[in-house]
Amino acid sequence: MTVIAVHEFKVAAHCVVAEYAGGLAVFDTRINEFYMLNEVGHLVWSALEAGKSIDSIVDEIIEEYDADAAQVRTDVIVVIEDMKRNGLLERA
């Protein structure tokens, strides 16, 4: 797994978002594709927009869902990597 420095990335300017019941729809205007984020994905997205660290994101999820810290950290990193791979994040 890649080490991520979240401060090196920001939400891509070509993404438009809209909330829906239980999540967030992200529209990539470059390729005309939607990505649907669930409630936790929405939390990660919002935290990235706010410039929060991975530790802060993990803490928020643990507090909200009473989940295992190691598993949450792994899941958050996977979500961020997916966002990067799909072009939803760009270099800050």
Residues 29 and 15 sit within 8 Å (Cβ to Cβ): yes
CATH number for 6-91 (one of 3.30.70.920, 3.40.50.12280, 3.20.20.140, 3.90.930.60): it is 3.90.930.60
| pLDDT score at 2 | 47
Closest CA to 76 of 50, 41, 51: 41
Which tokens sit at 83?
Answer: 């966002």
Per-residue pLDDT of the chain (92 residues; tens, 9 = 90+): 444 555 677 889 999 999 998 899 999 999 999 999 999 999 999 999 888 888 999 999 999 998 999 999 999 999 999 999 999 998 87
| pLDDT score at 19 | 94
| pLDDT score at 51 | 86
| pLDDT score at 77 | 92
